[in-house]
């Protein structure tokens, strides 16, 4: 199912007021970890899946990428990305991740930030990404952690005084669609286990290079005390995988 909630005017307005929407990569707590997992981008052909406002596409060009193709399903996202971008080497196109189709070896790096938990068939997408990468290419992406996506509520268990007691995990192995509450709206996401992500990548022909469940550093906690919650449960899952040969 390809849901395009971000083109709903009220939802997009609420999204636009989020700190990461206004502050860009500097306001995305997981960005330093994701950035460290990227290979050198100088001279590389980059594909950005679920590009949003284009923050990662512009970063890739700042790092010397030869070209960036940035894809998103939301026209409103792409409109904002184009407003923020003055670079003919970045091509913003509308499309769904599920529908990508490229020539074999067309890209050197494929990156994606918090988009694949909106995609129902990750295994099929991983095969398409693998085929689109040149040998030695890298696939680096982040998703909401499976501990975070297991229950649709995506919220803490609270005490009688409103204190956060613990993060409930249930239905973990019951994979599939979740109707989650996000920014005051019901949003379709897909829950899958850690092993499902990794096995899909391995089956597609990738070699797993690095994983991160983003434990907050002392610097992160000093900069934003709210990150203390992430010590109690992971919110993000980051994966770096490389194409070491053909499937």
| pLDDT of the residue at 190 | 96
User: What mean pLDDT is predicted for residues 130-141?
Assistant: 98
Residue 172 in tokens? 């973990």
Residues 6+ apart with CB under 8 A from 107: 45, 46, 47, 69, 132, 133, 134, 137
- Report residue 14's pLDDT band, with 50, 70 and 90 as the boundaries: confident
Percent of the chain with pLDDT over 70: 98
Please say if the pLDDT value at position 102 is more than 70. Answer: yes
| pLDDT of the residue at 85 | 96
What is the rounded distance in angstroms from the CA atom of residue 213 to the CA atom of residue 2?
A: 27
Please say if the pLDDT value at position 246 is more than 70. Answer: no
What is the rounded distance in angstroms from the CA atom of residue 238 to the CA atom of residue 221?
A: 19
Per-residue pLDDT of 20-76, as tens digits, reads 877 778 878 889 999 999 999 999 999 999 999 999 999 999 999 999 999 999 999
Residue 147 in tokens? 């501990």
Percent of the chain with pLDDT over 90: 75
Q: Which residue has the higher pLDDT, 123 or 181?
A: 123
Please say if the pLDDT value at position 1 is more than 60. Answer: no
What is the rounded distance in angstroms from the CA atom of residue 51 to the CA atom of residue 81?
A: 8
User: How many CB atoms within 10 Å of residue 37?
Assistant: 19
Please say if the pLDDT value at position 131 is more than 90. Answer: yes
| pLDDT of the residue at 247 | 54
Closest CA to 206 of 142, 125, 147: 125
Range name among 136-140, 154-158, 204-208 with the lowest pLDDT average: 154-158
User: What mean pLDDT is predicted for residues 124-146?
Assistant: 97
| pLDDT of the residue at 46 | 98
Per-residue pLDDT of 152-192, as tens digits, reads 999 999 999 999 999 999 999 999 999 987 877 788 999 99
Range name among 106-115, 131-140, 220-229 with the lowest pLDDT average: 220-229
């Amino acid at each position: 199912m390809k849901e395009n909630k971000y083109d709903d005017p009220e939802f997009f307005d609420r999204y636009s007021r989020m700190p990461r929407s206004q502050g860009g990569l500097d306001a995305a707590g997981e960005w330093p970890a994701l950035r460290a997992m990227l290979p050198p981008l100088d001279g590389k052909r980059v594909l950005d899946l679920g590009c949003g406002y284009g923050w990662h596409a512009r970063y890739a060009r700042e790092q010397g990428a030869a070209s960036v193709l940035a894809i998103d399903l939301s026209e409103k996202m792409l409109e904002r990305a184009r407003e923020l971008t003055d670079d003919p080497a970045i091509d913003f196109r509308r499309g769904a991740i599920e529908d990508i189709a490229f020539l074999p070896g067309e890209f050197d790096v494929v990156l994606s930030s918090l988009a694949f938990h909106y995609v129902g068939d990750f295994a099929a997408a991983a095969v398409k990404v693998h085929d689109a990468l040149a040998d030695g290419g890298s696939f680096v992406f982040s998703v909401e952690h499976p501990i975070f996506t297991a229950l649709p509520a995506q919220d803490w268990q609270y005490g009688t005084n409103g204190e956060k007691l613990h993060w409930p995990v249930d239905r973990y192995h019951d994979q599939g669609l979740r109707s989650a509450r996000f920014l005051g709206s019901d949003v379709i996401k897909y829950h899958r286990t850690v092993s499902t992500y990794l096995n899909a990548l391995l089956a597609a022909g990738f070699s797993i290079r690095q994983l991160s469940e983003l434990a907050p550093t002392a610097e992160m906690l000093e900069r934003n005390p709210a990150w203390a919650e992430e010590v109690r449960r992971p919110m993000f899952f980051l994966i770096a995988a490389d194409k070491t040969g053909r499937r």
